[in-house]
Structure 1
Amino acid sequence: MKHFLSRHGFTVSTFNDPYVFLEEAAKFDLALIDFSIPPRRHQKDTDGPELIHTLKRRLAKPPMLVLISAYFTDDILNNIQELYPEADACLSKNVDLERILQEVQQLLLDVDSDGHKG
């Protein structure tokens, strides 16, 4: 996905450690956050929804936060915003990359120049 989005003009950074991402998150316009984040040794377990909650609490202007998972089916996605309302959007990894690209482009269009959702 990183290479695909890069080929379409996006500057892409990846993070293996959610705590490092927490320190860098304010620099980004949009973040795709995996639902399942593998725990790191000597660190508290966290998951995507918890990371989104932390970012919304810590940052005055968080990036667009998109929860993404291979486990999201169409049925789950139809009700997902009720389950994870702090996520700006939820996407399945089980769609083709063109669809993810379209969703990302639309989400970024929904943000005005001040970084506010429109």
Structure 2
Amino acid sequence: MLPQSTRCYHILWSFIAATFMCTSNVLYTQSDAFSTPVSHWIGYQVIQGIGAGFGMQMTLLSVQLKLKDNPDLVPVGIAFVMFLQYLGSTFTQVAAGTLFNNELQAGLVEHAGLNPSQAAMLL
């Protein structure tokens, strides 16, 4: 058994975060924008928020645990992790926005009966 100071209590919460995030992502992919009720979408977002909240906090706790012997490096480690979290979010948001616009234009042509030039004018 590990001594009290080296136990990793945060590992369980990391697994819980991954479980919530994977569950919400599966629910998103199995849903349809035109037939899934709004209440389901809200529930999926709550599940995703719980997973993201657990996951983002656990990375910061992991850095603190790993760098506990070098207290001067703890702020640097936390700043680096936060930088990477924001950087990943930035790239993901740009990619998701591009994908959304392309799918929206295709959906306007297919479901709303617009021609491609009319759909392009809306975007």
TM-score > 0.5, shorter chain as reference = no
Computing the radius of gyration from Cα coordinates, the structure with the larger value is 2
Greater helix content: 2
> What TM-score, normalized to structure 1?
0.30
Greater strand content: 1
